[in-house]
Structure 1
Amino acid sequence: MHLFKLIPFCLLTCAGALHAAEYPIGAPQHCGGMEVGAVYLQPIEMEPAGMMRPAAESDVHLEADISALEDNRNGFQEGSFVPYLRIAYHLQRDDSEQLISGDFHAMVASDGPHYGDNVKLDGPGRYQLTLQVSPPDTGHDHSFGRHTDRETGVAPWFQPCELTYSFVYAGTGKKGGY
């Protein structure tokens, strides 16, 4: 009898655990003391409006999941999100001349913080994704500073790096069909 009372509770508490289907883009790579994993999923709705291409005009939502490695020299704990990075992307279908470029935005979703953008692709096919990962900006009001003194300081920011991934895009399926 008590089992039937638990069913509505389980349905309510487990409903938030459903996530959109993410499709991995290659294997995670290392850069500047961080692990950079790339995925895509169906385009997403975003707040604030206008931050990126509307979902209705996009084919995918590209993401870079970036976390600190154990040997991170900039003070980030292993597995933690690394904020304030500048991430530029370039996408090209193998049999096309069209280059798709843009910048990822920092954002948060039900599975945690990441960098991403809604993107209109050049149709189905094999793509090359290049991510240019740069350290936080310096010298303006929204800088992400670092301690440099002997007692509490961390290493200088890493040098920008470029990572390349390959993947086949055949669609993301029907929204809500996951």
Structure 2
Amino acid sequence: MCFKLLPLASVGVLVTGVSLASAAEYRIGDPLLSHGMEIAAVYLQPIEMDPPGVMTPAAEADIHLEADVQAAADNKNGFAEGDWLPNLHVEYRLTKADTGEETAGSFMPMVASDGPHYGDNVKLMGPGKYRLELTIHSESHDETAHFGRHVDKETGVAPWPEAFSVEYEFTYAGVGKKGGY
């Protein structure tokens, strides 16, 4: 009897049925630390979303803009370093440097092959330099969305921070041909 060894990546695809192909992400600045959180911003080609209709269709957008929000080492809200922080309300504002044109909106929480994040498909104002402002609200921003927090002396965690903003600058020159990564 003869056994053929497969590369580990091939075994993963056979076992899970998941493709290892991924889209090229373009980092927007360096990750920023604020309020016990590490906030990283990236963009890639627009994506298709389930359920349909919850954000701008990929065919009508230029990019899929993401905020990866993870607990930093100094997080006092009960999350371990590197944990994704759920139940936030993340707003974005993009300003084109040379014209001052703006577009703004809110991200929705979602998951992709590289993990959970907040994101939206966005139509830009053409190639050029942009400033991105992210405003992060704790779960208390939405009174109907409850993510409980222990407050007793023995097991309690710190209160959620007030809303805060972080800013990045980047140059958008396109994302290339879909599938060309």
Q: SS where residue 143 of structure 2 aligns?
A: coil
Q: Which residue of 2 aligns with 1:34?
A: 37
Q: Which residue of 2 aligns with 1:159?
A: 162
| Contact kept? 1:138, 1:145, Cα under 8 Å | no
**C-alpha distance in structure 2 between counterparts of 1:147 and 1:176, whole Å:** 46
Q: Shift in Å at residue 31 of structure 1?
A: 1.6
Pairs within 5 Å for 1:106-145: 106-137=109-140, 140-145=143-148
**C-alpha distance in structure 2 between counterparts of 1:127 and 1:136, whole Å:** 28
**C-alpha distance in structure 1 between counterparts of 2:56 and 2:142, whole Å:** 29
Please state if 1:76 is matched with 2:54: no
Q: Which residue of 2 aligns with 1:44?
A: 47
Q: Which residue of 2 aligns with 1:168?
A: 171
2:6 partner letter: L
Stretches of structure 1 that go unaligned for 5 or more consecutive residues are: none
Q: Which residue of 1 aligns with 2:107?
A: 104
| Contact kept? 1:60, 1:172, Cα under 8 Å | yes
Q: SS where residue 13 of structure 2 aligns?
A: helix
Please state if 1:92 is matched with 2:92: no
TM-score, with structure 2 as normaliser: 0.90
Q: Which residue of 2 aligns with 1:6?
A: 6
**C-alpha distance in structure 2 between counterparts of 1:142 and 1:13, whole Å:** 37
> How many residues are paired up?
176
Q: Shift in Å at residue 2 of structure 1?
A: 5.6
| Contact kept? 1:72, 1:78, Cα under 8 Å | yes
**C-alpha distance in structure 1 between counterparts of 2:94 and 2:123, whole Å:** 10
**C-alpha distance in structure 2 between counterparts of 1:12 and 1:66, whole Å:** 27
Q: Deviations 1:46-96 (Å, cap 9, x if unpaired)?
A: 011111100000000000011101110000111000001111100011011
Stretches of structure 2 that go unaligned for 5 or more consecutive residues are: none
Q: SS where residue 65 of structure 2 aligns?
A: strand
Q: List, as ranges, runs of 4+ consecutive aligned residues in structure 1 with deviation greater than 6 Å.
A: none
